[in-house]
Structure formats: C-alpha cells, structure tokens
Chain A
Amino acid sequence: MLKQLLQGNQAIIQAAERAGLGLFAGYPITPASEILHELVGKKHIKVLQMEDEIASINACIGASLAGLKVMTATSGPGFSLMQESIGLAHMMEVPMVIIDVQRVGPSTGMPTFPAQGDIIQARHGSHGDYFPIIFYPNSVEELYRYTFSAFNAAEESLSPVILLSDGYISHLYETVELKDYPIAQRSMPPLGTSNRHFTGLTHQDSRPVTSSPEAHRELLAQLQKKCTETSRNYSFYEYIENTEADTLLIAFGALSRAVYQFKDKYALFRPIRLFPMVEELKDVASRYEHIIVLEMNAGQYCYQIERLLHREVGLVSLPGGKIDIKEISDRLQGLRQKLPKQVSVS
C-alpha cells in the first residue's frame, strides 16, 4: 500500500481527488491556502480563485447543482462570510464539502495559531434552523479518511458537510497510507435536465411558499430527518476506557492529541463527528463520576455536552493557540477537586 509523507492540507486534497472532486472554489487564507495552491493545475479538477469567500461558496453551490462534486476551504474569517450561503445550501439541498481550518479569533486574531473557536459557528452560524453534519479529525491520516466521509455524507444527505481542522493538524506532516474508501455517487440529476426551481425560500414541490407555518415545519422536519439519518452511518468517535478512572476527559482535534498523555489517569472520549452529537457519549459518560471537556475556546462544545448529558461538566478552556502539557495537567488537577459527584447512574 502506498505510504506518503503528507501535510494535513495535502491529505485533504489526496482524498478529495479520489472521492471525485470536480470543482474547487476558494479565496486565500492562512492556514488553509495550501489546499487552493495545490489543487491548481490538477487535470480533472476545475479551480476557481474567487473574489471572496461568499463568491467561493456560491460558485460551489452552482457547480454542485450542475452535477460536480465540489469543495471549498477556508478559515474563521472566511467561514464567517460563508454562513448565509451555508443556510442556502441546506435549504436548496446542495451537496458539498466545506473545510474550515480554524485559527485564533475573533476577527483577524492570530492567523498562524491554531484554535477551536468555530465549533458553534459551524453548527449554528447561519440564521434559522438547520442540522449540519460536522467532522473534526485529529491527524493527517484522519484528515485523509474523513474527507472521504465528508464527501459521502454530503451526497447521502444532499447537504453541505463541514470538515473542521485547525492550524496545527492541517500543517502537520505525517505518513499516510493512501487507502481507497467507498465513494458515494451523486443521486440528483444535474441542472439542465428538468424544470426544478431551487430556492432559499420555504418551498413545497419546487414552488415558493411564503406564508405557511405548516409548510415550513414540514420542510424543516424533512431536512432534519435526512441529515440525522445520514449521520447515523457516520458515527465516528474514539473512546479509551479506563476502569480505574473516575473522570472522563472529552477533547477533539489538535488538543485531543495532547490529552492522550493523560490516559493512565483518565478515561478519554474523542468525538470525531461533532454534530449531530454522537449518542454513544451518553452511555460512556454514565460510567464516570466527573466529565471534563478540554477545548481551545471558551467552552463552546462544553455547553453542548451539558445539554446532551443533562449534568454539570467541567471545562478546561485553552484559547490562544497554546497547547502545554504542564498547564493542562495543573488545570485538570485543580478542576477535579471542585467538581461535584454525579448523583445517580441509571
């Protein structure tokens, strides 16, 4: 089997190419630019450098409707600009893959430092209700593997699937076995074959419906069902059990690699599909007295976990791009003493 030393962003390209990427539209931004650079010149992939990220995602929507598998890649500031059209893609049921290589924000923040500050933006950044499928790998090999998953889930759910990365893993070099994974094919006929009307307005049978709460609820329910059901085929997580431990640590992406250091003292859970949240976490969490989430933001996923588990969850918040084992160890120590015991395990 072919093994290659690849940068994280290159691994995404390798997988996208094999998954059948037909068009990429993007705008330069650190730490995602390598994806744009290295796609230019590939024979079977059309590459558009657009004037901004709004144009990029809309060109992707158009090309996807016209029948190609499409992808765009960006970082926080560009991801913010894409939000309105992400909602549009959900509403019009357009498959595509969006790579968000997170850097320190808000605003321009620290462009070359990794972060995990786009968790809630990825889930809720566009207005209205939608139910995105979001993956967040933690190694170069996983960026390769889950890029396939992202393309497949997009085709299956007919929705934009988000693959989160961060400035750390996207710029890391590791060896990757360039395996072939199953590839889903497009089910929807391309533009130029029918008389469909794709619209961001609430709609029924391809027709805008602008004043029916019932029609809107029906559409929402259908979109939610489709994404939730698809996500069940992509229930990715890593669980490192520790029967001696009373505390479960939850971490993902770059930071989760540092958290492996603590597996002798703690049990570890790493969601790879961040949204819809993996249900298995409920069962795993019930075995531990304390739950602590570690993330490179002010607690974005922690709140989601509290809501999922209906119990108090400790937070080690590490914004600013620094991953320091000693600091993490001290913070964990301090936090554990303060956490309440779980009352009942049912």
Chain B
Amino acid sequence: MEDTVRFKRFLKEGNLPTPWCPGCGNGQVLKSLAQAFEELNLDKHQVVVVSGIGCAGRSAGFFDLDSVHTAHGRAIPLAEGIKTANENLKVVVSSGDGDLLGIGGNHLLHATRRNTPLTIVCYSNEIYGMTGGQASPTTRLNTKTLTTPEGNRDVPFNVQAIIKAHNCFYARSTTFHLPHLKKCIVEALRHPGLSFVDVITQCIVNNGRRIGFKDAFEMLMYYKNNYKINDNAEFLKDNEIGITRCAGV
C-alpha cells in the first residue's frame, strides 16, 4: 500500500460513495481530516467526530470510529459534553458554515469563551448547500443566491475575529491547498485548547455554477490564484490563508 492511502483506515469505505454532488469539496475536506489523523498516528478509539446538519454534516458518518450526527447547529455543545465527560478523547467537530456560524453561532461564541479543547473544522462553502443555495453567514457581499437575488447586502461573518477575540487557535485554508489544509488540521489537533479550521470549499452545484464558475476545477483554480499562504500572521487578510499566531497557548 502506498503511504498516500494509509489514511483510509479512518474511513468507512463500505459506506462510500458519499452523498455529495460531483465536484463537491466536502470529500476533499473529509480526506484531509483522515490524513491529519493518520499523520498524528491517532488511535481510532481516541477520536470522536461530531457533526451537525447539512451537506457537510453528513461527514461524521464516514469515519470509521464512534461518531455523532446531531441536530442542526448543535454539534459544538454536544462535543463539549463529550469532552467534559471524557477528557482523554480527541473530539472533532466537522460541519458546515451555516450550521456552525448561523444556527449554532451562539454556541461557538461561548465555546471559545470556555476554550473547550475541541477541534472544529468548518466547511465554509459560503452557502446553505443542502437546502438548495440560500445565503449563509459567510456568503460574500453582493453574491447572488436564492435568497439574495439582488446580491447579498449583509457583511460576512468575521469568524477569525470571533475565534481570536478569545485567544483560540484559528487557521484558514482551501480545498486547493490540500497539503496546507492537512497541516492546518494537524496543528489544530495539536493545540491544547479550542481550535478552529476555516476551510474554504467549493459547493459547485448550489453556489459556484450560479455565480459563473464552469465547474469545480475552475473554483479550485480561483482559490489557487486568489489566496496566498501566510503562516505567521497575527491576523489573516481576506486573500490570505494560514495558521495565525495564537496568544492563548
């Protein structure tokens, strides 16, 4: 077996294919998570994955370890319950931007205050994918969606500022920068307190195609051209990805 596929031991291959659309970035994030577990050589019984509801929320069911698929927005408090009950477990939240920042936004705010040792991986596709493409908390200004036909007028959620306000770990990457994405998740898993990895990922069907992208590849190329890696910033600019310095350690 090539080293490149050893991470598959963390996945339930029998449950594949995933329910995601052709070209959806969720599968790339799923793989990156499993690769990060593999890189840290974690024991399957040491990790629990928790997700909420949405396309990204389906990710938990593909890990070959104990996993929980909660109600919409509730992955974080449920994960905090697990971590409080058994602090030896690595508890990973794997869910969507709408789930974590919209309906579950208040939980995120308070989890960062408590600095509960969780690793939260947010599939930021800038849309409510599963429900057909409504504006989500991370939808960019002026973007047209089902619910913003004239272009989005609301400022996107500044998740970086929120996470860093309470000195938690914040990293951002994209599904183009896969080795970097894996590194972000690995560092997040190593962080002793709450860590948040913001993954910019493509929803081609209910977002990308509607705003002019031909296919998933074109979205990945956009990430490639638009984002520069900066792994030593205090605070990332809009067009930067990286692991920010964390005062909380």
- Indicate whether A and B are direct neighbours in the complex (CB within 8 Å): yes
| A51 pairs with B86, CB closer than 8 A | no
4 smallest CB-CB distances across A and B, nearest first, come from A62-B81, A59-B81, A66-B85, A55-B77
Cβ of A196: which chain B residues have Cβ within 8 Å of it? Answer: 66-67
Q: Which residues of A contact B (CB under 8 A)?
A: 22-23, 25, 46, 48, 50-52, 54-56, 58-68, 70, 84-85, 88, 92, 190-201, 207-208
A61-B78, A62-B77, A208-B61 given; A192·B85 CB < 8 A? no
Given the contacts A196-B66, A200-B70, A63 and B77 also touching, CB distance less than 8 Å: no
Q: Given that A61-B81, A62-B77 are known contacts, is A51 also in contact with B107, CB under 8 Å in the complex?
A: yes
A88 to B81, CA, bound (A): 15
Residues in chain A near residue B246, CB distance under 8 A: none
Listed in ascending order, the chain B residues whose CB lies under 8 Å from chain A are 12, 15, 44-48, 50, 58, 60-61, 63-71, 74, 77-86, 88-89, 106-107, 109-110
Residues of B with C-beta under 8 A to A54: 74, 77, 107
- Check if A48 sits within 8 Å of B86, measured CB to CB: no
Can you name 15 A-B residue pairings with CB atoms under 8 Å?
Answer: A23-B84, A23-B85, A51-B109, A51-B110, A58-B78, A61-B78, A64-B81, A65-B68, A66-B82, A70-B81, A84-B71, A88-B71, A190-B86, A200-B70, A201-B69
In the bound complex, CA of A207 to CA of B15 (Å): 8
CB pair A67–B86 under 8 Å, yes or no, is yes
Contact yes or no, A195 B66, CB < 8 A: yes
Residues of B within 8 A of A197 (CB): 60-61, 66-69
- In the complex, besides A92-B68, A192-B47, 20 extra interface pairs with C-beta distance below 8 angstroms are A23-B85, A25-B81, A46-B85, A48-B80, A48-B84, A50-B110, A51-B106, A55-B77, A55-B80, A55-B106, A59-B77, A63-B84, A85-B71, A85-B74, A191-B66, A191-B89, A192-B86, A194-B66, A197-B66, A197-B68
Q: How far is the CA of A193 from the CA of B69 in the complex (A)?
A: 17
Q: How far is the CA of A232 from the CA of B112 in the complex (A)?
A: 45
Residues of chain B within 8 A of A194, CB atoms compared: 45, 66
Within the complex, the shortest CB–CB distance from A190 to chain B, in Å, comes to 7
